[in-house]
Structure 1
Amino acid sequence: MIALIEQHPQLLALGIVLILTMALLWLIQHLMIRYGKRILVLISRIDFWLRGHIARLPLMVRLQHKYPAMFGFITKRFARGHFSGLILTILTLLNIYILALFAGLVEDIVEADSIVTTDLFVSQHMSVLQDSSIVPAFVFITSLGSTPITCLVILLTAILCAVVRQPYILVGLLISTIGSTAFTFLSKMAFHRARPIDILLQEHTYSFPSGHATISIALYGFLAYMAIRFSQSFIHQVRILSLALLLCLLIGLSRIVLNEHYLSDVMGGFLVGTLWLTIAISMMEWLTARGKINWRIVWSAPQRYIAWFSVVAVLIATFIYATFYQFPLLG
């Protein structure tokens, strides 16, 4: 192991990144499980106090009497307890912020800012790892974001939604996956960014943004949202979120390690995926508010078996796909 690290010092840096990432996720998970509910209660109390304090300010009282329609509209946008209030406002502001980040990233790439220098630096170091023993593991991980596997995941999810009699969930799933895929395709066509030179698995599409990074957030993020909404345990919800974040980060990292994409491509893909995931979640919450989706169903034993069978089937299919399609591309 020491000789391998001495031969490829980049492995040490990669290992440190993985360890720090997992340690950070574990720490966040631990803090959320231990203090999450207390923090939410504290935030709720502070929010209640602020609302009452702001409503009593002389300026707000004058505005309410002078502009009742505008004041009423703003008040509804921050009202709690229904989807069209505070929830929709937060989701909308989040989407605007994500779009601004994406636009800033695009500007940096087009103007060949420091991010491009970082891209080239990282790509050059990753190209050294092409003959290392970690490549097969990352090929398997990256296969989870491939088109055949994601289509299988969508199909199995659709079957599961039919089994639990919640078909409207498919609306959000399709919005997240199809919307993000279309946005990524159009972005690739618009920017025409070439992929890194030392690419391991030959691809015929452009580089920015990363489709695998996009679909990791859009698809697996949505599955995590489903699992969190169906779960009644706060601890399970936190652990599901942590596992989903780790999976998405690993898929994005696999694109960099295999030199399929630059660092900024993966960052752009994460932003696109998050944008469409947020839109899909907004649709799900709207449908939930209208009574179209019931997240508090009691899962029967056969339904749970189908869910776990789907997970195992995806892992087996990913192994087969990586073995008979991806690995031969390594030459």
Structure 2
Amino acid sequence: MIAFIQENQQLFSLAMALLSIVVFLWVLQYVLIHYGKPALSLISRGELWLRGHIARLPLITRLQDKYPVLFGFIAKRFARGHFSGLILTVLTLLNVYILAVFAGLVEDVVEADSIVTTDLFVSQHMSVLRESGIIDIFVLITSLGSTPVTCLIVVLTAILCMVVRRPYVIIGLLVSTIGSTAFTFVNKMVFQRARPVDILLHEHTYSFPSGHATVSIALYGFLGYMAIRFSSRFVRQVRLLSLAVLLCVLIGLSRIVLNEHYLSDVLGGFLVGSLWLIIAISVTEWLTARGKINWHMSWSKGQISLVWLGVIMVFVATLIYANMYQFPLLG
């Protein structure tokens, strides 16, 4: 057994990484299902207590009397019950944080910091797997992030939204996908980073950030958000979240295994996708608050069948694309 592991160190490392991801998501799912609601309730009560305690402090009281307009603005930003309050504040702060992390990653890549050394190390190890049978599986996975497949998914999702009479959801979908794609294209042209040397599926675009990693978060993340919003059961929402995260991670990992991108390219793509996903969710929630979207609906058998038909069409399209375009590149 030890000898087998030593002979297949890269394959073993990949298997352990996949196992770690699955176990982590399973544990996270278990914790959220069993302790998520009580934890949220506890956090909510703690936040109310802290807010009341701070409001009663003498210094805060004096400042509030002196600057009523400023404190009124701040109070509205942390108010509950409407989108422009606490929800928008949290989403905005989260996006600011993601932008800061992305800027730090860009700086490391440009200055050839330690992340570049890690990139080369991972790329060299993944190149050993080019003759492994595991490559075929990751070619299929990476095809889910290809332009033809993602365009098909966007069209099918838009059709579904029209059928169920929720057309305003399409706005968020387009903001997430088109915005992230344009942002990624601009960054590729700005940084013009070359792809790894041992690339398996030859691409003609630059490497940073990864477009597949970006669209995995921007598109599949938004689809997961839609599924969660349309679902009324908390347990199902948690499972849908876990499934969406797993799919996004697998698509990003496929770009590393196939040596299409460096590790930092994928991380950058995840950050860009997350940035635009949050913007799209913010727009969609704003439309919901204005009464343009009603997430509560009873799905008919025909509508459910339409969803499954779309899933089957995407699966078939992925197989066709992989066999007609991706697999021939391996030769």
TMscore range, shorter length: over 0.9
Tell me whether 1:210 sits opposite 2:210 in the alignment. Answer: yes
Q: Which structure 2 residues correspond to residues 146-165 of structure 1 after superposition, within 5 A?
A: 146-165=146-165
2:261 — aligned with what?
261
Question: CA–CA distance in 1 between the matches of 2:31 and 2:87?
Answer: 24
Secondary structure of 1:199 counterpart: coil
Deviation at 1:299, TM superposition (A): 1.0
SS of 1:14's partner is helix
Q: Which residue of 1 aligns with 2:141?
A: 141
TM score, norm. by length of structure 1: 0.98
- Alpha-carbon offset, residue 304 of structure 1: 0.7
Give 1:296's aligned residue: 296
The question of 1:278 aligning with 2:278 is answered yes
Query: In the TM superposition, what is the alpha-carbon distance from 1:3 to its structure 2 partner?
Result: 8.0
- CA distance, structure 2, for counterparts of residue 308 and residue 55 of structure 1: 52
Residues 172 and 46 (structure 1), Cα distance of their counterparts in 2 relative to 1, 3 Å cut: same
Number of the residue aligned with 2:183: 183
1:240 corresponds to 2:247:
no
Whole-angstrom CA distance in 1 between matches of 2:65 and 2:213: 50
Structure 2: where are the runs of 5+ without partners?
none
Match of 2:123 in 1: 123
CA deviation after TM superposition for structure 1 residue 8, in Å: 2.8
Q: Give the Cα–Cα distance (whole angstroms) in 2 for the partners of residues 240 and 217 of structure 1.
A: 14
Once the two structures are superposed, the pairs formed by residues 9-24 of structure 1 within 5 Å of their partners are: 9-24=9-24
For 1:273 and 1:32, the matched residues in 2 are separated by: 24
> Which amino acid letter does the alignment assign opposite residue 171 of structure 1?
I
Which shows bigger deviation, 186-195 or 52-61?
52-61
Structure 1 segments unaligned to the other structure (5+ residues):
none
SS at match of 1:197: coil
Bigger Cα displacement from structure 2, 56-65 vs 243-252? 56-65
Kindly provide the CA deviation profile for residues 143-171 of structure 1, in whole angstroms up to 9, marking residues without a partner as x: 00000000000010001001100000000
1:84–1:197 CA distance, 2 compared to 1 (3 A):
same
Contact 1:8 1:128 in 2 (8 A): no
Q: Which amino acid aligns with 1:188?
A: K
Cα deviation, 1:72-101, whole Å, max 9, x if unaligned, reads 000000001101100110111111100000
Separation in 2, partners of 1:181, 1:324? 24
Match of 2:312 in 1: 312
Alignment-derived partner of residue 75 in structure 1 = 75
The answer (yes or no) to whether the contact 1:194–1:207 under 8 Å persists in 2 is: yes
Structure 1, residues 94-127: CA drift from partner, whole Å, max 9, x if none? 1110000000000001111000000000000000
CA shift at 1:7, angstroms? 3.8
Contact 1:33 1:234 in 2 (8 A): yes
Per the alignment, residue 114 of structure 2 pairs with 114
**TM-superposed deviation, 1:57:** 1.1
- Where does structure 1 differ by over 4 angstroms across 4 or more consecutive aligned residues? 1-6
Matches of 2:63 and 2:79 in 1, distance apart? Answer: 18
What is the SS of the residue equivalent to 2:279?
helix
- The sequence identity of aligned pairs, in percent, is 72
Trace 1:30-109 onto structure 2 (pairs within 5 A).
30-109=30-109
Give distance in 1, aligned partners of 2:8 and 2:203. 26
Change (3 A) 1:326 1:294: same
Q: CA RMSD in A?
A: 1.1
User: In structure 1, what is the Cα distance between the partners aligned to 2:176 and 2:252?
Assistant: 18
Question: Does the residue aligned with 2:293 lie in a helix, a strand or coil?
Answer: coil
Amino acid at match of 2:26: W
Match of 1:28 in 2: 28
| Counterpart position of 2:327 | 327
Q: How many residues align?
A: 331
Distance of 2:313 and 2:244 partners within structure 1 = 18
**How far off is 1:55 after superposition?**
1.2
